[in-house]
């Protein structure tokens, strides 16, 4: 009995009826809707075009780098073909070039760096996110970030004057005495060499791996931890089962990102690796990397073929880092966007 | 017998939990050790920079140009000024490009084109600095037929772009949609909304990204080797080879002269003060909550 009069007493009816008959009210309403402020009609497309040009230039820069590298290394590409990358010879005097010693040096120094850096970076990242007392947390992550801010040339300086003498006097003789039988630690302990390069690179890539690990671990939902904890797991077991198992794809991405950085690192490595294109099983021996041969010999390169060979090394470096970084991005995205984490669990 | 069995089981249960506790403690200790091991090099490097750098740092280091090799004294004044000029021009190139493409990604880039640009920015971020240096050499130095300050600035400017782009995009996405809608509701045109409202709100965050990009390229040596090249004399012309602080540190550190090695440490101290100072300002701005105004 109350509902009935309320339905019939609908207030909108009156205005609608009015709008149909009176022009003054609906006219401006019809006009207002499609009006664009006059300034925006021309300025909007111009502004959009401007920022689009900026974005396109980012794309253009990358394409330009690729074109420039290919065109500059044309001479060497034609002279040596694919065998450039597998030939173990670097003879500027007779104009015979092969990049194998540099590829070897780059791979060995980067892998050595990963072996040292991964446990440390994972450890420090887990410590800051899961175990560290709260007040210490931001300080510790700031310190690790600061490690990333130190320029390459300062790492190199420190490597030459502090790390290398330390290795020569204490660490390398000790390694030779105790692990000499492996063949990895023999010969004269110079200090400067593959081992020093590996250690410096490790220090440089720890912040990258640690920050990605921290990001990925924080992205693991809290329920995962709580569920494992509720089953009576210790803190470490919670971490291992509830967190690491979910985050491992992302951590892998961080590791590969660190690898990408190590592969392309130039100055610090050039300063400590010894710069000699030789392949030796011993980590005490000097080596050479793709990046450091460019840094060292580019301005001294006599002859177009020599220069072109160095440019081809640059091209190889570009393509390698492109693949490595692309892979790393995919892995990190897949976790932080929460896509295949389920499939792994 | 029953009793025996029971006690045996108890020992068993206790043993497992003991092992688990042991593993737990070992893992905790291991992680703490990793943290200490990571922080140690930082402390040692800064310690050496201050210890070796202060000893070699004096007024003439900051005000004089290098003396001929073998003569004592001299400084890196030309390197400091050269670096400042290179960074200034690099910022003038890299920052507008970075902000522009960041705006594109945040405001117009929620589509396939945006994804392409986003991916290329990440690729550019990963390109080794030496490769960027040799590319700019091929593009500018070869065509100009001489090394120049400007070409070094271009190389560093290119390196700033991806960092500024991605940080700008991130910050702009933090600006709430309601702010944009409110501005549009007032009848302001789209571009004014972006420039006067969205960018204005995000200023502090964008500045942070710029400073981080600046700190990143300030210490770069490799891209300058074949572009700015280095110079023993005063030169502020963009068209001439220029000295730069990181380059001088590199050449002095690898030199056989002890006096030059000493100056390399002083140069390194100046460089790290510049970089850590920049990062300190960033942290200050961020902690003041100005950045949170964007959220």
Q: Flag whether pLDDT at B293 surpasses 70.
A: no
Q: Which residue of A has its CA nearest to B17?
A: A234
User: pLDDT of B94-103, one tens digit each?
Assistant: 999 999 999 9
User: pLDDT of B219-265, one tens digit each?
Assistant: 999 999 999 999 888 888 999 999 999 999 999 999 988 889 999 99
Contact list, B279 vs chain A (CB under 8 Å): 146, 149
> What pLDDT was estimated at residue A338?
52
**DSSP H helical segments within B57-176, as ranges?**
59-63, 77-103, 112-126, 129-136, 142-144, 149-174
Whole-angstrom CA distances from B65 to A25, A216, B224 are 79, 49, 19
Q: Which residue of B has its CA nearest to A34?
A: B187
Q: Which of B280, B85, B76, B224 is nearest to A152 (CA)?
A: B224
Reading chain A (345 residues) residue by residue, the pLDDT tens digits are: 444 444 444 444 444 444 444 444 445 444 555 555 555 678 889 999 999 999 999 999 999 999 999 999 999 999 998 899 999 989 988 889 999 999 999 999 999 999 999 999 999 999 999 888 888 888 898 899 899 999 999 999 999 999 999 999 999 999 999 998 888 898 888 899 999 999 999 999 999 999 999 988 988 888 988 999 898 888 899 999 989 988 888 899 999 999 999 999 999 999 999 999 989 889 999 999 999 999 999 988 888 999 999 999 999 999 999 999 889 888 887 777 654 433 332
The phi, psi pair for A96, rounded to 5°, reads -115, 120
Q: Which of A126, A146, A128 is nearest to A137 (CA)?
A: A128
For chain A, give the mean pLDDT: 85
Q: Which residue of A has its CA nearest to B121?
A: A58
> What pLDDT was estimated at residue B289?
55
> What pLDDT was estimated at residue B205?
86
Q: Which of B215, B242, B212 is nearest to B226 (CA)?
A: B242
Q: Report pTM.
A: 0.87
- Are A110 and A287 spatial neighbours (Cβ–Cβ below 8 Å)? no
- Are A195 and A112 spatial neighbours (Cβ–Cβ below 8 Å)? yes
> What pLDDT was estimated at residue A1?
41
> What pLDDT was estimated at residue A14?
44
The confidence band for B212, taking pLDDT boundaries of 50, 70 and 90, is confident
> What pLDDT was estimated at residue B73?
81
CB contact under 8 A, B219 and A150: yes
Can you give the C-alpha Rg of chain B in angstroms?
27
Contact list, B34 vs chain A (CB under 8 Å): 119-124, 127
For residue A91, what are the β-bridge partners?
A96
Q: Which of B208, B224, B181, B227 is nearest to B291 (CA)?
A: B208
User: pLDDT of B7-25, one tens digit each?
Assistant: 444 555 555 588 888 999 9
- Better-scored residue on pLDDT, B66 or A343: B66
The confidence band for B294, taking pLDDT boundaries of 50, 70 and 90, is very low
Contact list, A161 vs chain B (CB under 8 Å): 48, 52, 253, 261, 265
Q: What is the largest CA-CA distance in chain B?
A: 97
Least confident of A149-153, B184-188, B193-197, B281-285: B281-285
| B209's tokens | 């990204």
> What pLDDT was estimated at residue B2?
45
Angle between helices A194-219 and A134-149 (to 10 degrees): 140
Neighbouring residues of A72: CB distance < 8 A, sequence distance ≥ 6: A307, A308, A311, B134, B138
Of B52, B135, B279, the CB nearest to A65: B135
> What pLDDT was estimated at residue B253?
94
pLDDT average, residue stretch B128-151: 94
> What pLDDT was estimated at residue A99?
93
> What pLDDT was estimated at residue A334?
78
A122 three-class SS: helix
Q: Which of A323, A130, A140, A113 is nearest to A205 (CA)?
A: A113
d(Cα A216, Cα A131) in Å, to the nearest integer? 16
CA distance B253 to chain A (A): 6
pLDDT average, residue stretch B190-201: 91
For residue A97, what are the β-bridge partners?
A90
Q: Which of A41, A54, A143, A333 is best to mutate for the B interface (most B CBs within 10 A)?
A: A54
CB contact under 8 A, A149 and B264: no
Angle between helices A290-297 and A100-126 (to 10 degrees): 120
CA distance B1 to chain A (A): 31
Whole-angstrom CA distances from A62 to A18, A42, B223 are 63, 31, 16
Q: Flag whether pLDDT at B88 surpasses 90.
A: yes
Please state, for a pLDDT cut of 90, what percent of chain B lies above it. Answer: 66
Of B162, B195, B250, the CB nearest to A267: B250
Q: Exposure pattern of B5-40 as b/e (b: 16+ CB <10 Å)?
A: eeeeeeeeeeeeeeeeeeebeebbeebeebbebbbe
Ramachandran region of residue A250, left (φ > 0), alpha (ψ -120 to 50) or beta? alpha
Q: Which of A36, A38, A46, A58 is best to mutate for the B interface (most B CBs within 10 A)?
A: A58
> What pLDDT was estimated at residue B204?
85
Q: What is the largest CA-CA distance in chain A?
A: 108
CA distance A43 to chain B (A): 7
Contact list, A271 vs chain B (CB under 8 Å): 250, 253-254
């Amino acid at each position: 009995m109350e509902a009935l009069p309320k339905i019939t007493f609908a207030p909108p009816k009156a205005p609608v009826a009015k709008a149909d008959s009176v022009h003054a009210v609906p006219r401006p309403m019809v006009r207002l809707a499609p009006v664009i402020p006059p300034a925006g009609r021309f300025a909007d497309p111009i502004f959009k075009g401007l920022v689009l040009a900026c974005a396109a230039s980012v794309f253009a820069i990358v394409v330009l780098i690729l074109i420039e590298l290919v065109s500059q290394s044309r001479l060497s590409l034609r002279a040596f073909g694919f065998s450039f990358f597998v030939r173990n010879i670097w003879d500027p005097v007779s104009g015979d070039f092969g990049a194998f010693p540099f590829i070897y040096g780059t791979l060995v120094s980067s892998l050595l760096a990963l072996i040292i850096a991964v446990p440390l970076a994972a450890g420090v990242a887990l410590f800051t996110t899961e175990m560290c007392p709260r007040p210490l947390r931001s300080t510790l992550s700031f310190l690790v970030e600061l490690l990333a801010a130190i320029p390459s040339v300062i790492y190199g300086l420190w490597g030459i004057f502090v790390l290398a003498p330390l290795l020569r006097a204490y660490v390398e003789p000790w390694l030779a005495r105790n692990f000499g039988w492996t063949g990895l630690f023999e010969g004269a302990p110079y200090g400067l060499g593959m081992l020093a390069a590996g250690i410096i690179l490790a220090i440089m890539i720890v912040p990258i791996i640690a920050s990605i690990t921290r990001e990925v671990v924080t992205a693991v939902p809290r329920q995962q931890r709580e569920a494992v904890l509720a089953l009576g797991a210790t803190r470490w077991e919670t971490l291992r089962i509830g967190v690491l198992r979910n985050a491992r794809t992302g951590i892998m991405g961080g590791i590969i990102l660190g690898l990408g950085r190590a592969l392309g690192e130039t100055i610090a490595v050039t300063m400590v690796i010894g710069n000699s294109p030789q392949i030796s099983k011993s980590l005490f021996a000097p080596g050479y990397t793709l990046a450091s041969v460019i840094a060292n010999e580019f301005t001294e390169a006599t002859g177009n073929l020599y220069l072109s060979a160095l440019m081809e090394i640059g091209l190889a470096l570009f393509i390698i880092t492109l693949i490595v970084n692309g892979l790393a991005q995919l892995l990190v995205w897949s976790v932080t966007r929460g896509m295949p984490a389920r499939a792994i669990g | 017998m029953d009793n025996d069995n029971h006690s045996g089981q108890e020992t068993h249960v206790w043993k497992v939990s003991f092992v688990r506790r042991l593993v737990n403690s070992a893992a905790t200790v291991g992680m703490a050790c990793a943290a200490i091991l990571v922080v140690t090099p930082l402390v040692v490097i800064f310690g050496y920079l201050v210890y070796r750098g202060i000893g070699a740092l004096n007024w003439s280091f900051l005000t004089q140009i290098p003396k001929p090799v073998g003569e004592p004294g001299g400084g890196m004044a030309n390197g400091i000024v050269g670096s400042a000029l290179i960074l200034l021009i690099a910022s003038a190139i890299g920052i507008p490009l970075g902000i522009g493409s960041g705006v594109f990604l945040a405001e117009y880039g929620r589509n396939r084109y945006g994804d392409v640009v986003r991916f290329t920015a990440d690729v550019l971020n990963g390109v080794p600095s030496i490769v960027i240096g040799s590319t700019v050499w091929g593009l500018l130095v070869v065509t100009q037929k001489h090394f120049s300050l400007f070409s070094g600035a271009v190389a560093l400017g290119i390196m700033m772009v991806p960092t500024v782009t991605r940080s700008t995009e991130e910050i702009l996405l933090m600006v709430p949609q309601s702010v944009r809608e409110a501005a549009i509701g007032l009848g302001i045109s789209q571009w004014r909304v972006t420039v006067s409202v969205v960018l204005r709100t995000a200023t502090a965050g964008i500045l942070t990204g710029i400073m981080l990009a600046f700190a990143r390229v300030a210490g770069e040596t490799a891209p300058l080797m074949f572009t700015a090249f280095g110079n023993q004399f005063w030169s502020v012309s963009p068209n001439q080879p220029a000295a730069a602080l990181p380059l001088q540190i590199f050449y002095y550190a690898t030199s056989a002269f002890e006096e030059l090695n000493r100056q390399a440490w002083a140069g390194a101290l100046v460089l790290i003060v510049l970089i850590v100072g920049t990062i300190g300002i960033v942290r200050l701005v961020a902690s003041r909550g100005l950045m949170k105004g964007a959220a």
